[in-house]
A and B are shown apart, each in its own frame.
Chain A
Amino acid sequence: NAGVTQTPKFQVLKTGQSMTLQCAQDMNHEYMSWYRQDPGMGLRLIHYSVGAGITDQGEVPNGYNVSRSTTEDFPLRLLSAAPSQTSVYFCASSPGTGGSQPQHFGDGTRLSIL
């Protein structure tokens, strides 16, 4: 009964370093997405995927890459970390792609860029 699993839970990086945030879901959901949460700004969509091999940009995609090689996994890559990317990152998934089903969220990755 894992749902959406995100690793790591916490990470500190130096400016310019790269890293990958992992996200896996075991519910066979088609739709997966990445958000960042910043104080007073709610959740902003970074990238999303409507199925394996299909990804698209959200509101704030710059500095991030994604891929979806399997239904289960949707990793988010920071190419060259910047202090502005300090945030809490959430991965979410939902069945179908019509937008009528609720999204299931992981517990987040808290990322600090020094």
Chain B
Amino acid sequence: AQSVAQPEDQVNVAEGNPLTVKCTYSVSGNPYLFWYVQYPNRGLQFLLKYITGDNLVKGSYGFEAEFNKSQTSFHLKKPSALVSDSALYFCAVRVRRYGNNRLAFGKGNQVVVIP
């Protein structure tokens, strides 16, 4: 099945330390990959995407992600975490079904940045 997996339920990191949120994918063909962030009582907000090209993708709020085809991974990173980065993070992949496109989301990772 075409899907993404986010293996950790929660990621705890001290403020100022590097932040990594893991995502692996399973999809036939070339993947379209996305990261979204959700703050409490809000909808998801787009952070960045990988469609083609450079494996290192830069996005909003200082986040970046590295596409690794051999490891089928698309981990989200931030060099120095802020308390305001505490939120729920979702990885997603485009799925093609009967000629139509839709997104399959992972279950999400809660990130807690400790002051």
How far, in whole Å, are A35 and B75 apart by their CA atoms in the complex?
24
**Please, which residue of chain B has its CB at the minimum distance from the CB of A58?**
B102
Q: Which of B60-115 contact A (CB under 8 A)?
A: 90, 94, 96, 98, 100-108
Residues of B within 8 A of A99 (CB): 32, 94, 96, 101-103
Contact A102/B49 with A41-B107, A97-B101, A108-B43 known, Cβ cut-off 8 Å: yes
Q: Does A70 contact B (CB under 8 A)?
A: no
Contacts between chains A and B (CB distance < 8 A), count: 62
Residues of B within 8 A of A107 (CB): 41-43
Interface contact B44-A45, CB-CB below 8 Å: no
Interface contact B34-A102, CB-CB below 8 Å: yes
Q: How large is the interface on B (under 10, 10 to 19, 20 to 34, 35 or more residues)?
A: 20 to 34
**Please, which residue of chain B has its CB at the minimum distance from the CB of A105?**
B43
Secondary structure at the A interface, as helix, strand, loop or mixed, is strand
How far, in whole Å, are A59 and B44 apart by their CA atoms in the complex?
19
Residues of B within 8 A of A50 (CB): 100
Residues of A within 8 A of B41 (CB): 107-108
Interface contact B107-A42, CB-CB below 8 Å: yes
Secondary structure at the B interface, as helix, strand, loop or mixed, is strand
Residues of B within 8 A of A74 (CB): none
Q: Which of B33-59 contact A (CB under 8 A)?
A: 34, 36, 41-46, 49, 51
- Distance in Å: Cβ of B96 to nearest Cβ of chain A: 7
Residues of A within 8 A of B9 (CB): 40
How far, in whole Å, are A93 and B9 apart by their CA atoms in the complex?
27
How far, in whole Å, are A92 and B102 apart by their CA atoms in the complex?
11
Residues of A within 8 A of B96 (CB): 99
Report which A residues bind B (CB closer than 8 A): 4, 31, 33, 35, 40-45, 48, 50, 56, 58, 90, 92, 97-100, 102-108
19 contacts between A and B (CB under 8 A): A33-B103, A40-B107, A42-B90, A42-B105, A42-B107, A42-B108, A56-B98, A58-B102, A90-B44, A97-B100, A99-B101, A102-B46, A103-B44, A103-B46, A103-B103, A105-B43, A105-B45, A107-B42, A108-B42
Report which B residues bind A (CB closer than 8 A): 9, 32, 34, 36, 41-46, 49, 51, 90, 94, 96, 98, 100-108
